[in-house]
A = this chain, B = another copy of it.
Amino acid sequence: MSTNVCAKTKKTMAITLEKISEVTGFSVSTVSRVLNKKSKKYRISLETERIIYSKAKELGYRPNELARGLRLKKTHTIGLVVPDISNPFFASITHLIQKYLYEEGYSLIVCNTNEDIKTEIEQIDLMRRKGVDGYIIMPVGTQFEHIKGLLDDNKPLVLLDRNIDALNANCIVVDNYRGAYEATECLIRFGHERIAIIQGLQNTYTNNERVRGYKDALADNGIRIDESYIVGNDFRRENGYISTKLLLKMENPPTAIFAFSDLITLGMLQAISEEKIIIPDNVSIISFDEIDFAPYLVSPLSVVVQPRELIGEAAVKLLIEEMRSKNRLGKRKILLESKLVIRDSIKNFNLGVAAHRTAS
């Protein structure tokens, strides 16, 4: 191991093809071909192959992926853009994406945008410069010039969780409209009419769809839409807290609140707890996103579950497919179903008691 120490700098130098070439006496090209398993194709003798292999192993050769990427224009790295990786929903998806990509031999560069479009633009630009082979993006908003630019490179790209209609890109989304519609309808069936929603970030795809589902459910059931029951503007906890406080203080407060994310629900629970209000007796709640602890809350929480595993798996599958068959196979838009899980957090006015537990 003393062979890889640079004489002048005394620093250990990385083992390169050249070094192996020197010690074996074969040219760099031959070494490269052997190590890339191209011996047959280039008719390298078995003896040569054996020598090179063993020397490479002995020296602990490790190919320089930068050089390789430069030459090959392939980095085996995928860029993932996510709004907030500390959100359990996104964390879970990230986990799955990383897992599947690893199985396919890809690494992952992860970027948080914190729902900030400027950061998103910068981060995507950076990934592009780093030569990632493809992108999985959960975009912040409806602005998309920077993503359009990406499509022009024609590197594979899939939009996740949030679609941008104006963009001809692969995308995988959950049927947010239907999820919200069903949740709202369920509340209505249980006798609620004053139903509030706490929105997430406005003008995001998911939020728009959910609001639409909510409104249509009300309209279809002949309930007037009261804009004062539509509050909030952020998917985070603080929004849930403040918005709930506001709702509870109304002269005619809602009998049910529909929170548009798990973190909003967290803030909401805090507010409700502080106000010493009882779920579901005084207020019913339902939330978007699975919450692991939902069944064990003071009042087991009803939720709209999104199929995280499917989302992560489908994203990688789509991306890999597009990488394999580089010829245009048309962009695909995949719509996944959400699932309503009713627990005790909804009061059933028709029975005069709490809703019957349907699932755990």
Contact = CB atoms under 8 A, between A and B. Distances in A.
A293 B295 contact: no
Interface stretch (A92-100, A157-165, A317-325, A327-335): A92-100
A108 B109 contact: yes
A92 B109 CA distance: 17
A65 B291 contact: no
A180 to B, nearest CB: 23
A67 interface: yes
Interface residues of A, number: 56
A280 to B, nearest CB: 14
Contacts of A109: 77, 107-110
A191 interface: no
B64 A70 contact: yes
A112 B360 CA distance: 30
A111 B88 CA distance: 17
Contacts of A112: 95, 98-99, 102
Contacts of A126: 65, 107
Contacts of A77: 109, 130
A130 B110 contact: no
Interface stretch (A21-29, A135-143, A210-218, A265-273): A265-273
Contacts of A295: 269-270, 273
Interface in A99-128: 99, 102, 107-112, 114, 119, 123, 125-128
Contacts of A64: 70, 129, 131
Q: Among A65, A70, A88, A296, find the residue whose CB has the most chain B CB atoms closer than 10 A.
A: A296
B86 A92 contact: yes
A63 B98 contact: no
